[in-house]
Structure 1
Amino acid sequence: MNDSLPPATSDAAPGLRADRVSRRADGRLIVDGITLTLLPGETLGLLGPNGSGKSTLLRLLAGILAPSAGVVTLDGRALPRVGRRATARRIATVEQHAHTQTELTVREVVALGRIPHRRAWSSSTAADTRAVDAALERTALTDRAGQSWHTLSGGERQRAQIARALAQEPYELLLDEPTNHLDIQHQLDLLDLVVGLPIATVIALHDLNLAAMYCDRLLVLREGHVVAEGTPSQVLTPSLIKQVYDVQADVTHDPGHPVIRFLRRTPKP
């Protein structure tokens, strides 16, 4: 891990926090007054239908977007005061779709995560090499390091993007629907990897059962508002699913997490 920020003072809120954050675009509120605190080491799941504000909230937490109102803080300091480079050393993001037209090897893609730690035009250091090697090993991509990123499968590309994020040596990791377009095996493999990391993670998901299996806590959004927050067992109820997604569901409880079974709509006569 890095020491890019000074330790939080006794009166500062440690970690990543959003306080009544809103974001307006094209004349409407995309995110409206959301407050959240990311606890050390937890996996926080963001749920909600398309257009509910999940991706925008992640970009606000990363400092990619500026809030129209409210503030995002890191160890009690507003992100603009922290600075973009220091923020990038602490917070890593994995977007929904990663593309590059440049012919890069897997190692070169992962090494992009070291950019926040280097001065412009400077050569990589021994610390950079160690961080990249560790990220490749953690994501089981060491044997793919010299391979073109374009030749990887979808699951391997997602792992490479997570390796790039890990090479940043972050304290917080933000992922936007990383399981999209992956088969079931690769979805489970990727989420096993993510929740096994010793860092705090916010992950936007569509699959409620995956969220129930892997997340410690859930934040459910609808039209930019928080409609529920709590553990999967507290949040994923038939009434909440009906309210947010407008579908009927049965919810049972396996040891440790709820299991959701969606019900077919009754055909109209």
Structure 2
Amino acid sequence: MSLRAEDVSWEVGGRLLVQGVSLSPEPGETIGLLGPNGSGKSSLLRLLAGIRPASSGVVTLDGVELAALRRKSVARRVAVVEQHADTSVDLDVLDVIRLGRIPHRGAWSSPRPEDDAAVRAAVAHTRLEPHLHQSWHTLSGGERQRVQIARALAQQPTELLLDEPTNHLDIKHQLELLTLIVNTPVTSVVALHDLNLAAMYCDRLLVLREGLVAAAGTPSEVLTEELVRDVYRVRASVTPEGPDGRPAIRFLRAEGSGTTDAGCTRKAISR
């Protein structure tokens, strides 16, 4: 069993932000959440994390409703990496990573050997050893995201939820960050805007449009020229590339615009 959403909806102010969505990741899978701005990706992640209660349907963890579990119990299993993270406190990198152990400790307890071991493992996995005593505020965007993933891994979760972790990063750091995520031995659900990155790194995709599921399946099943046109209102050519035939998308133009070519394809690479 794992983290699952069954026919969940979330209504705010009379508007349905998520409508009847079901999601059942397999252990160790990387699931990509796709969709235009306002399609419900971040809202669905909040439901999966238990940050917001579903208006209908149910989110379960190992078959138990999240609402029936203590927040600390959920935090020991489910880690969240937000799109933007900042602090006004002058913390160094090691202090930020240590925050991931809060769900496992008492309010005033000192770090235990198992806490230190979890932090060391998270640091090693994210290759942050050279930055441990560097101030958080001096880091680049890509380095900050790596620290946030290390903080999440220090929780020792079985599920990792990430809200557009590659936003505002250059291509090199996008590729490095997603490689880090898929090589992490947990189940990951990651919201992404870049369709080619989703095709390259995700095992399965869930595409949302106005809170509804527009498509679900493997990248080859989901990322078609018809879906890109219907969901994103953009013309594209989709071709299989790489040894595993994952789709590569070349965008042509926005529907109804006078432009002839809106960009080029990022080559698919094998994991």
Q: Under a length normalisation based on structure 2, what TM-score does the superposition of the two structures give?
A: 0.93
* Displacement after TM superposition at 1:119 (Å): 0.8
Correspondence for 1:267: 258
Structure 2 partner of 1:38: 25
Match of 1:247 among 211, 216, 234: 234
1:82 Cα deviation from its structure 2 partner = 2.1
Q: CA deviation at 1:229?
A: 0.3
Hey, what's the Cα distance between the residues in 1 that align with 2:172 and 2:108?
Answer: 40
The CA distance in 2 between the partners of 1:28 and 1:93, in whole Å, is 25
Aligned to 2:156: 169
- Which digits, 9 at most, give the CA deviation of each residue in 1:170-205, with x for residues without a partner? 000000000000000000000000000111100000
Aligned match of 1:10:
none
Which position in structure 2 is the counterpart of 1:144?
A: 131
Structure 2: runs of 5+ lacking an equivalent: 260-271
Cα deviation digits, residues 59-107 of structure 1 (max 9, x gap): 1001111101111000100002122111000000000000100000000
What amino acid maps onto 1:267 in structure 2?
G
Matched AA of 1:83: R
Q: CA RMSD in A?
A: 0.9
What is the SS of the residue equivalent to 1:169?
Answer: coil
Aligned to 1:7: none
Comparing 259-268 with 221-230, greater Cα deviation is found at 259-268
TM-score normalised by structure 1 residue count: 0.93
Matches of residues 196-211 of structure 1 in structure 2 within 5 Å? 196-211=183-198
Q: Which amino acid aligns with 2:175?
A: L
- 1:68-107 alignment, distance < 5 Å: 68-107=55-94
**Contact between 1:45 and 1:218, CA under 8 Å: does it hold in 2?**
yes
In the alignment of these two chains, the number of paired residues is: 255
Q: Which amino acid aligns with 1:178?
A: P
| Runs of 4+ residues over 6 Å off in structure 1 | none
Unmatched segments (≥5 aa) in structure 1: 1-13
Read off the aligned partner of 1:20 and give its amino acid letter.
D
Aligned amino acid, residue 84 of structure 1: R
Secondary structure of the structure 2 residue equivalent to 1:181: coil
Asked whether the equivalents of residues 133 and 142 of structure 1 are also in contact (C-alpha less than 8 Å), the reply is no
- Residue type at the aligned position of 1:260: I
Q: Are 1:43 and 1:200, in contact at CA under 8 Å, matched by a contact in 2?
A: yes
What's the secondary structure of 2:106's corresponding residue?
Answer: coil
The secondary structure found in structure 1 opposite 2:150 is helix
- Measure the CA separation in 1 of the matches of 2:142 and 2:104: 27
Where 1:147 maps in the other structure, the secondary structure is coil
Task: Give, as a single letter, the amino acid of the residue that structure 2 aligns with 1:104.
Answer: L
Out of 94, 103, 110, the position equivalent to 1:116 is 103
**Partner SS, residue 253 of structure 2:** coil
Give the counterpart letter for 2:209 in structure 1: R
Q: Quick one: which amino acid aligns to residue 91 of structure 1? A: V
Distance in structure 2 (CA, Å) of the matches to 1:77 and 1:57: 18
- Partner secondary structure for residue 26 of structure 2: coil
Worse-matched range after superposition: 245-254 or 259-268: 259-268
The answer for the alignment partner of 2:267 in structure 1 is none
